[in-house]
Amino acid sequence: MAINTITEDFETGMRIQSKGYRTFALARPLAHGMAPHTIPSLIAQRDRWGRGCIQSLKNVKPFFRRGLSFAAKASYLACAVYWWTFTRRFVYIAVPIVAVLFHVQVVECTIQQILLFWLPYYLLTNQSLKVLSGHTRNQHWNNLIDTIMFPYLIAPIVLETLGVSKKKFVVTSKKRKQVATGPSRPVIYALPHIVLLAASVLALSICVIQVINTAALYNIIIMFWLVINCKNLFFAICFMIGRDNHRKADRFYVNLPIVVEHQGKQFSGITTDISETGVSALLNFPIYLPDNQKIKLVINTDRYHAEMDCQIVHVDPPKEKTGRWRFCLQIVDISDQSRSAYSQIVFDRVHTLPRQINEANTIYDDLKDNIEKRLNAELERAIRKYPRIPLGIKSFLEDGSDILIHDFNYKFVWLKADSAPGHESFEVECAPQVKLKLQKVDEVRESRNGGSLYHVLNLNELLESKYFEAAIMDWVRLAKVNEAH
């Protein structure tokens, strides 16, 4: 094992290769590891990788070492050059800003020289990425990664090259914590990108005016250059600011049969995703599961059996394709034996992260998705702990007037605005032998959604009624019929 380096695995591999052994890369993952989930930990990891790579290349000197093939030496040369791309990225961003704002002509060339040098580089780089990266990266994402990381990797690479090493280093934490959100989120890491984006936008606006006035080819090229830089810097700022992370464990998308047991009844379903801390599953029936009680969950595979106690976290309404309710459950209690079996169920599989870039997605699509997800973040975090059943049924009050029940979720009933009665509480018979005692609540929701929300006061009584269970089954069938039409 290599010593005097902080990337001992990388250096050990080089030394093994130089002894005549062949090394192989497998597409199938054989182990799982924790990736950085905060900006500081990501920067620390890349700082460690960059410094360690330079240390190992200095120690082994692969370009002059016997036993390494020409291809291996070329690969390690590319590795050494890679860590200097972040300095190149800074130059690429700064040059058009300096040219426009300070009238310093950093680059002097003709259009023929651009076509001779830049165009072949651009085309060959794109093609080589397609061949060598297996459609996992392209020029656009390469530029984004370089733009995101360059402010924090230029100094470490220069210092390590000059022999100034860190005395201590920290490995990636193996414990996932919820990322800080809101004002406490480390926006400070985006400051270099914000400053450069502001300077680029200012330079771009000046350049546009110059193009309108002169139509000079030089200004058109600089303008195109600035547009590309603005795009990359904007994406980098979005990355640095981040989005709220509400998960402490990674999900694996997998369909496994499960059984939910509650109050002596069993309900079958199928998982949509699983993680160390919870399970999401589709159930055919919108069962009532109290959010303050433990629910038994059983998962069986051809090799493992696990039982655990869970609590409801969230319930999604039925999707058009499945017609089933998605229950999100958090594991609160599990035996050591079931924990061991469940860990095998979770991790004994290939990860379900994207394995290649969606070639159909354009930069515009990426930008649109990013903005929409940020704007809709609050709506996505709305927590429903009870299954909502869309009804659209008409019922009658004791005075003979009718109301339209839009939907029902055991604890609450939603009435259409134009059909809600004037009084605060009342009874309504919505099925044979099933009367709901309702009381109006939540004026905020009424004004926002154009309806009236009522609390079901006699839920415990209804849950013990066989007529109520039959009514739920009828409502589910009605909802599926309405959805089909």
Domain span at residue 79?
A: 8-175
Q: What is the pLDDT of residues 424-453, one digit of tens each?
A: 888 888 888 888 899 888 654 544 456 788
d(CA 370, CA 366): 6
- Average pLDDT on 65-74 reads 91
13 inside domain: yes
Percent of the chain with pLDDT over 90: 43
456 inside domain: yes
- Average pLDDT on 408-417 reads 84
Query: Which of 134, 153, 175 delimits the end of a domain?
Result: 175
Q: How many CB atoms lie within 10 A of CB 195?
A: 12
378 with 395, same domain: the answer is: no
Contact of 306 with 282, CB cutoff 8 Å: no
100 inside domain: yes
Q: What is the pLDDT of residues 143-192, one digit of tens each?
A: 999 999 999 999 999 999 999 988 787 777 666 554 444 444 568 999 99
Q: Which of 52-56, 219-223, 237-241, 355-359 has the lowest mean pLDDT?
A: 355-359
377 with 422, same domain: the answer is: no
340 with 383, same domain: the answer is: yes
d(CA 469, CA 481): 19
The two structure tokens encoding residue 218: 């030089």
271 with 368, same domain: the answer is: yes
Q: How many CB atoms lie within 10 A of CB 299?
A: 22
> pLDDT: is 407 or 322 the higher one?
407
Number of domains within the chain: 3
Contact of 472 with 283, CB cutoff 8 Å: no
Query: Which of 158, 175, 192 delimits the end of a domain?
Result: 175
d(CA 126, CA 137): 10
Where residue 18 falls among pLDDT bands split at 50, 70, 90? Answer: very high
171 with 268, same domain: the answer is: no
Q: CATH number of the domain that 473 lies in? A: 2.40.10
221 inside domain: no
325 inside domain: yes
Q: CATH number of the domain that 305 lies in? A: 2.40.10.220
226 inside domain: no
Q: What is the pLDDT of residues 341-382, one digit of tens each?
A: 999 999 888 777 777 787 778 888 888 887 877 776 555 555
37 with 131, same domain: the answer is: yes
d(CA 204, CA 212): 12
- Which of these, 392, 410, 365, 411, lies nearest to 482 by C-alpha position? 392
Say whether pTM exceeds 0.95.
Answer: no
18 with 166, same domain: the answer is: yes
Where residue 322 falls among pLDDT bands split at 50, 70, 90? Answer: low
267 with 405, same domain: the answer is: no
**Residue 34 confidence (pLDDT):** 75
197 inside domain: no
383 with 439, same domain: the answer is: no
Residue located via tokens 């319930």 = 315
**Residue 367 confidence (pLDDT):** 81
d(CA 260, CA 282): 11
285 with 421, same domain: the answer is: no
319 with 430, same domain: the answer is: no
Residues 6+ apart with CB under 8 A from 242: 39, 179, 185
406 inside domain: yes
144 with 86, same domain: the answer is: yes
Mean pLDDT, the chain, as a whole number? 85
**Residue 417 confidence (pLDDT):** 61
Query: Which of 175, 198, 218 delimits the end of a domain?
Result: 175
**Residue 410 confidence (pLDDT):** 92
